[in-house]
Amino acid sequence: MSGPQTKISSLSYPVERVTLRNGLRVVLAPDKAAPVVGVGVYYDVGFRSEPEGRTGFAHLFEHLMFQGSENVGKARHPQYVQGAGGTFNGSTHPDYTNYFELLPAGALELALFLEADRMRAPRITQENLENQIAVVQEEIRVNVLNRPYGGFPWITLAPVAFHSFPNAHNGYGDFSELEAATLDDAAAFFTTYYAPGNAVLSLAGDLDPDETLRMVERYFGHIPARDVPRRPSFAEPVPADERRGHQHDPLAPTPALAVGYRVPDPLSDLTAYLPVVALSEVLSNGDASRLQRRLVQRDRSVTSVSTYLGTFGDPFDQRDPLLFNLEVYHPAETRSADVLAAIDQELARVADGGLERGELARVQARLVATILREADGVLERTLAFAVFEQQRGRAELVNELPAHILDVTEDAVRAAATGLLAQGRSVLEVTPGPADAGEQA
């Protein structure tokens, strides 16, 4: 078996960038490996920015952006994209809302037209608003209300770990607040947050940069500039003492446990953040990882354990504050206190004892391979360029990330583990059964 010295290559996608007069930032990354293009539009607004009393509005508004625009009728956006052989979607995150297409190269101009039309003038009617409120409610039922562990832990851990409305509230939204949404809310939200200067357009794949820039100018250039909102700080102090939450889930067959730890700011301190990414891999990815070995293979006390960074598990798409999440499902016989004690022991083993011989190099190889495999997809690449350009003005980080991962040191991973142990973690326990069943489980 070749050892940890396996050669690790990097990425070298060329990146060009232009800012239009209206403030729209454009990133181009041409690559002819496949006759496919990716288009991503990132608006710098996520559910952390939605107003109190309107929980779920950023996500609802994402749905409304598919309901037609000045020159595109209802239901036509999907028809145009898919009828050109492409796929599309949108998603709402704590810090951004994105819209994206993956298409045969010949359909690039169509996608630019469609994205520009809705950036300029979405057409939202009362009927479409009511329709999409109903659709979003069904989305919430299928993903949260009608299933066990619904919203665990992304919705339910947040109010344990955070106390401010932007960080703590449910980004899917409260049904009554969704139902209260009005066309005026939508107009105000669009005017404030969907300004061209608050967006990044990312284009990657089989495209000609000069021709593409002319098309971008033609479709997006005439969208009037608007004021760009200042992004508020969502900072909260790192808790000194442990926080606890308890949830009863009548649909769950077994208990579950989530633990959240605060981590260094990925934007201002990438050097301190990447060791936490490596620590997550050390702890929970694959049969060689420490929590798998300890909890699954040795103690046999849990059904599964996983760790990940960020609300939805992408370590690189969220700004501060964000969590290192630990998610455990375990049989009723296992006491959560024992699981927590074992986690503490394993963190202390890293913090005090460091890593095994070769462990860091193995973990680095895995992390880099994961990044390379993701970059093979034109759409995944398009989205990574967009998020790095939006947060950092540095789409090139896609290319640079493998080298940064290889720069992580053992001492830094130890320091990352120490950082988790030193703070007040946030613990959420899920107990099967209705709330009146008590906590004897």
Partner 1 sequence: MTGSAVTGSAVTLPVVRPPGPVQLPAVLDQTLDNGVRVLAVRRPGVPVVEMRLRIPALCGQSGEQLGPDAAGRTLLAETILTGTAERDRQRIATDLQSIGGSLAASADADRLALTGSTLSDGLPALLRLVAEVLVSASYPDDEVDGERDRVEQEITIARSQPAVLAREALLGRLHPAHPYGTELPPPGAVTAVTAARMRDMHAGRVSPDRALLTLVGDLDPQEALGLAGDVLASWAGAVGAAGGRVPDVPAYPGGPLVLVNRPGAVQTNIRLGGPALPRSDERYPALQLANIVYGGYFSSRLVNNIREDKGYTYSPRSAIDHAIATSRFTVAADVATEVTAPALLEMCYELGRMALLQVSAEELGAARQYAVGTMALMSATSAGLASVLSVLVGSGLPVDYLREHPAALARVSAEDVLAVGSQVLAPAKLAPVLLGDADRVRAGLEVLGPVEVAAESPATGGRQG
Q: Which region, judged by CB under 8 A, interacts with partner 1, from 46-54, 344-352, 360-368, 411-419?
A: 360-368
Q: Is residue 107 a contact residue for partner 1 (CB under 8 A)?
A: yes
Q: Please, what is the Cα angle at 43 between 41 and 49, to 5 degrees?
A: 155
Q: Is residue 118 a contact residue for partner 1 (CB under 8 A)?
A: no
Do 161 and 104 touch, CB atoms closer than 8 A?
A: no
Do 430 and 252 touch, CB atoms closer than 8 A?
A: yes
Q: Is residue 209 a contact residue for partner 1 (CB under 8 A)?
A: no
Indicate the residue type of 323. Answer: L
Restricted to residues 55-74, the positions that interact with partner 1 (CB under 8 A) are 71, 74
Q: Which region, judged by CB under 8 A, interacts with partner 1, from 230-238, 286-294, 346-354, 418-426?
A: 286-294
Q: Is residue 145 a contact residue for partner 1 (CB under 8 A)?
A: yes
Query: Torsions phi, psi of 431, nearest 5?
Result: -110, 130
Query: Torsions phi, psi of 367, nearest 5?
Result: -65, -45
**What character string, x for contact with partner 1 (CB under 8 A) and - otherwise, covers 237-276?**
-------------xxxxx----------------------
Dist CA 364 CA 370 (whole Å): 10
Q: Is residue 18 a contact residue for partner 1 (CB under 8 A)?
A: no
Q: Is residue 99 a contact residue for partner 1 (CB under 8 A)?
A: no
Nearest residue to 30 (alpha-carbon basis) of 217, 211, 197 = 211
Our CB check for partner 1 shows the closer of 67 and 391 to be 67
Q: How far is the CB of 93 from partner 1 (least distance, A)?
A: 18
Nearest residue to 34 (alpha-carbon basis) of 418, 297, 382, 386 = 382
Q: Angle at which helices 76-83 and 108-120 pack, to 10 degrees?
A: 170
Q: How far is the CB of 427 from partner 1 (least distance, A)?
A: 21
Q: How far is the CB of 363 from partner 1 (least distance, A)?
A: 7
Which letter does DSSP use for residue 48 in this model?
Answer: G
Nearest residue to 122 (alpha-carbon basis) of 105, 97, 103 = 97
Which letter does DSSP use for residue 82 in this model?
Answer: H
Q: How far is the CB of 197 from partner 1 (least distance, A)?
A: 20
Q: Which region, judged by CB under 8 A, interacts with partner 1, from 15-23, 263-271, 356-364, 388-396?
A: 356-364
Q: Is residue 14 a contact residue for partner 1 (CB under 8 A)?
A: no
Our CB check for partner 1 shows the closer of 176 and 237 to be 176
Our CB check for partner 1 shows the closer of 138 and 344 to be 138
Q: How far is the CB of 68 from partner 1 (least distance, A)?
A: 11
Q: Is residue 113 a contact residue for partner 1 (CB under 8 A)?
A: yes
Q: How far is the CB of 130 from partner 1 (least distance, A)?
A: 7
Among 17, 30, 110, 123, binds partner 1 (CB under 8 A): 110
Nearest residue to 72 (alpha-carbon basis) of 26, 124, 109 = 124
Q: How far is the CB of 357 from partner 1 (least distance, A)?
A: 11
Count of residues binding partner 1 (CB under 8 A)? 90
Q: Which region, judged by CB under 8 A, interacts with partner 1, from 42-50, 181-189, 238-246, 371-379?
A: 371-379
Q: Is residue 87 a contact residue for partner 1 (CB under 8 A)?
A: yes
Our CB check for partner 1 shows the closer of 218 and 246 to be 218
Q: Which residue has the tokens 């039309």?
A: 117
Among 73, 125, 188, 214, binds partner 1 (CB under 8 A): 214
Q: Which residue has the tokens 């690790």?
A: 8
Q: How far is the CB of 179 from partner 1 (least distance, A)?
A: 12
Omega of the bond leading into 331 within 30 degrees of 0 (cis):
no
Dist CA 287 CA 379 (whole Å): 30
Cα separations in angstroms, 72 against 88, 184, 234, 413: 16, 21, 36, 51
Residues whose CB falls within 8 Å of the CB of residue 319, separated by 6 or more in sequence, listed in order? 94, 95, 234, 265, 266, 267, 391
Q: Is residue 125 a contact residue for partner 1 (CB under 8 A)?
A: no
